[in-house]
Chains A and B, each alone.
Chain A
């Protein structure tokens, strides 16, 4: 009977043994072993940290819950710092392209200013040339007069040559008559 009782106790202990370790539980168990100094076995967490729900097997089997460490107080600060630095880095990566665009924008602005100056100069030139064309057009009658004057001067020159020839003939006749 005592042997039976012992066997029953052994069966009970076997039935109360923890469930076959799953992957999670194995990891959690190793975490527990590595980090906690608590004794092994089905232990309940001694801290107030949030716990992961364990896999529930059939009733009558004890399950162990993960023993988590309390979050470090500065972990939030570290996370914030990490994300801030990540943001700064990404901003820096994008700033290079932004600076290229700004450079091109400045170059375009300067070029447009240059072209505006050139446009003003060319507008002035065009206005002056139009005035000049009008003034030269108004000079046209005078230029016609000059042409007419030139024709008259040519005619005068012809007349002068004829006069010169006539006067030389007259002189020769006079000398002939004088000799007689």
Chain B
């Protein structure tokens, strides 16, 4: 930390020295705060995290889109299965008729 000359200078009043000291102390506190913030690298890390999140957002939206399409396809498969179920019930009669024919 910077320290001004504490020895009284010629022609400088105590009041002036005091105000200088207060000013230098406040400057030191500000510099210390900034150094602590800079040393923690929180700004860089948080910024990098935000950037990565933005990059991931595209993949997340794509995944959601794919899931919705899959749910639509599943619904269509259900419809098709119901249609198959309905038509397959005729196969029993068909089988009986064929059995008679082949006797």
Task: Assess whether A88 is interfacial by the CB under 8 Å rule.
Answer: no
Complex: how many Å from CA A104 to CA B101?
76
Task: Assess whether A3 is interfacial by the CB under 8 Å rule.
Answer: no
User: A152 near B53 (CB under 8 angstroms)?
Assistant: no
With known contacts A23-B8, A26-B8, A156-B101, A128–B37 Cβ distance under 8 A: no
Give the distance to chain A from B29, nearest Cβ to Cβ, in Å.
Answer: 7
Q: How many Cβ-Cβ contacts under 8 Å join chain A to chain B?
A: 111
- Using a CB–CB cutoff of 8 Å, the interface residues on chain A facing chain B are 23-24, 26-28, 30-31, 34-35, 82, 86, 89-90, 93-94, 96-97, 100-101, 103-104, 107-108, 111, 114-115, 117-118, 121-122, 124-125, 128-129, 131-132, 135-136, 139, 142-143, 145-146, 148-149, 152-153, 155-156, 159
Q: Which of B30, B53, B74, B102 interacts with A104 by CB under 8 Å?
A: B53
Contact residues of B: prevailing secondary structure: helix
User: A128 near B29 (CB under 8 angstroms)?
Assistant: no
Complex: how many Å from CA A136 to CA B95?
21
Q: Which 9 A-B pairs have the closest CB atoms?
A: A27-B8, A142-B88, A100-B46, A152-B98, A128-B74, A121-B67, A145-B91, A97-B42, A107-B53
User: B63 near A142 (CB under 8 angstroms)?
Assistant: no
Q: Which of B75, B84, B102 interacts with A159 by CB under 8 Å?
A: B102
User: A152 near B102 (CB under 8 angstroms)?
Assistant: yes
Give the distance to chain A from B46, nearest Cβ to Cβ, in Å.
Answer: 4
With known contacts A31-B13, A86-B29, A136–B60 Cβ distance under 8 A: no
Chain B residues, Cβ within 8 Å of A136: 81
User: B70 near A125 (CB under 8 angstroms)?
Assistant: yes
Give chain B interface residues in 2-56, CB to chain A under 8 Å. Answer: 7-8, 10-11, 13-14, 22, 26, 29-30, 33-34, 37, 42-43, 46-47, 49-50, 53, 56
User: B95 near A152 (CB under 8 angstroms)?
Assistant: yes
Complex: how many Å from CA A69 to CA B7?
21
Complex: how many Å from CA A34 to CA B10?
12
Chain A residues, Cβ within 8 Å of B71: 121, 124-125, 128
User: A100 near B47 (CB under 8 angstroms)?
Assistant: yes
Give the distance to chain A from B62, nearest Cβ to Cβ, in Å.
Answer: 11
Give the distance to chain B from A59, nearest Cβ to Cβ, in Å.
Answer: 28
User: A128 near B30 (CB under 8 angstroms)?
Assistant: no
